[in-house]
Amino acid sequence: MSGATVPILELRNVAKNYGAVSVLRDVGFSLTAGDALGVVGPNGAGKSTMLSVISGVERADAGAVMINGEDVTRQSAAARCRHGVGRSFQIPRPFADLTVFENALVGAHRGGGARGRAAHQAAMRALELTGMVGQANQLAGSLSLLGRKRLELARALATEPSLLLLDEIAGGLTEAEADVLVGTILDLKSTGVTIVWIEHVVHALTRVVDRLMCLAFGEVYVDGSPDEVLNSREVQEVYLGSNP
């Protein structure tokens, strides 16, 4: 339709199987630029697999992944990164023997495709956004858990994404540490980046996202405002009730 806004991300009836096990079934939703979507659900619901299918780490067995109106379903993770898809992983795995800056530089160079001065600038912007400039010359292996989480975020940001996928980035942090991270993500949101954030620390998640989706048994159960989703009977039964 003329004048219609093209979603920055759209999943169309996406399915993913591992052998006889169906992990994602008919998953569909869309996001416009600047949206912040939170994803909750019980362990084993298919949440991380969904991020892997979006980022290209895994390939969908059915359906389509659209980025800015382009079908990227068969494209590699590297190609999708060039389309503006950045991702942090649940367990940070920095290059321990490299400095914080060098880790961010790897993200800018290998992930974002930047070279020379442009790569250095992208790496420094990522460290500025995550408050890690003061630790730029510190070896990544010496960082605290919060530091490693922030570096994981910085490496994703160094690719200069327009779509940022976060996988339980607040997991394992103290409440004070999670507050620091939430502040960083709120700052990122204010820049207009689109966010999909999987998280079990729900109070952290709801401080950032405008919309919440509950995934359970590989399917979208409820999708709406945070209050609507968290107060729905379906979510209480499949998620909150089993995770008191």
Return the pLDDT at 90. 85
132, two tokens: 């890690």
Return the pLDDT at 244. 39
**Dist CA 184 CA 175 (whole Å):** 14
Q: How far is CA 129 from the centre of its chain?
A: 16
Q: Regarding predicted confidence, which is higher, 211 or 2?
A: 211
Q: What percent of the chain has pLDDT over 90?
A: 80
Using pLDDT thresholds of 50, 70 and 90, give the confidence band for residue 5.
Answer: confident
Write out pLDDT tens, residues 13-23.
Answer: 999 999 999 99
**Dist CA 43 CA 184 (whole Å):** 26
Using pLDDT thresholds of 50, 70 and 90, give the confidence band for residue 112.
Answer: confident
**Dist CA 121 CA 42 (whole Å):** 39
Return the pLDDT at 222. 93
Beta strands in the chain (DSSP E): 9-18, 21-31, 36-40, 62-67, 70-71, 85-87, 163-167, 194-198, 211-216, 219-224
pLDDT at 164 over 90: yes
Return the pLDDT at 3. 55
154, two tokens: 């910085």
pTM, full prediction: 0.91
**Dist CA 171 CA 186 (whole Å):** 17
pLDDT at 47 over 90: yes
Q: Which CATH class is domain 9-84+161-240?
A: alpha beta
